[in-house]
Amino acid sequence: MRSLVLASLCVLVACSRSELDRRVIPQHEASTPAPTPNYPERRTELKARGEAATGQERLLFVGDSITQGWEGEGAEAWAQRYASFHAMNMGVGGDRTQDVLARLEEGQFAKLKPELIVLMIGTNNTGRNKEAPAKIADGVAAILKQFRARMPDAKILLLAIFPRGKAPADELRMNNVAVNELIARLADGDDVRYLDIGKSFLDADGTLPEAVMPDLLHLSQDGYRRWADAIQPVVDEVLGAKK
């Protein structure tokens, strides 16, 4: 009976795992590659970074300015947690889902073969473009499909879009929550794992403190430490605990 149950679970996981690969994604603004004209220097820098990849890069972070901030306020935590994995930061300020898709199409990630990809994207779709949550979720699904096709051996840690705005009822925060409810369904718990670490940044009453996000969007040093702490169990599981 036990073996039958385990076999049934394996079938269910396999079906769930392949669902994303089979998914037909509607084509619209958020799910179609479209690079922004902003920050061309950063894009050029990351293109060169990707082309210089050595194959030792076990950990890859992909996202917008919040991810790019690992090179600023998050630099100390990055050095302590991820340097040993030859981690690569591919975050670009202002990026939306369509921008990440454009970077994939341009071959920015072509030489990379990470074991773990940490993806957090979408707050510029909600905040700047005011796109509908369902469309943003389609954009995230398109990114996941691309990474699955291009880097099939990599595990993907899909993070919920971080909270923004001071109060729980802030419109921009609520938009991100709506997207998160949809993208959570894209995970299979194995190749693609979903993790919502938003509460790590909030006070008990749901207020977002400026000590964690000074502009109520971008992280402080303490914010990056909280981010690192929250995902450490997954990093340890996939890459092995740091000696």
**86 an active-site residue?**
no
Question: Which distant-in-sequence residues (6+ apart) come within 8 Å of 165 by Cβ?
Answer: 171, 172, 173, 208, 216
Judge whether 65 counts as a catalytic residue.
yes
Q: Which of 42, 56, 128, 119 is nearest to 87 (CA)?
A: 56
3-26 core/surface letters (b: 16 or more CB in 10 A; e: else):
eeeeeeeeeeeeeebeebeeeebe
SS3 238: helix
Active site residue 215: yes
Catalytic residue among 31, 65, 99, 138: 65
Contacts of range 15-23, beta carbons closer than 8 Å, 24 or more positions apart: 16/188, 16/189, 17/188, 17/190, 17/191, 17/192, 19/188, 20/141, 20/144, 20/145, 20/148, 20/186, 20/188, 20/192, 21/145, 21/148, 21/149, 23/141, 23/145
Which residue in the list 64, 99, 218, 220 is annotated as catalytic?
A: 218
Give the active site residues. 65, 215, 218
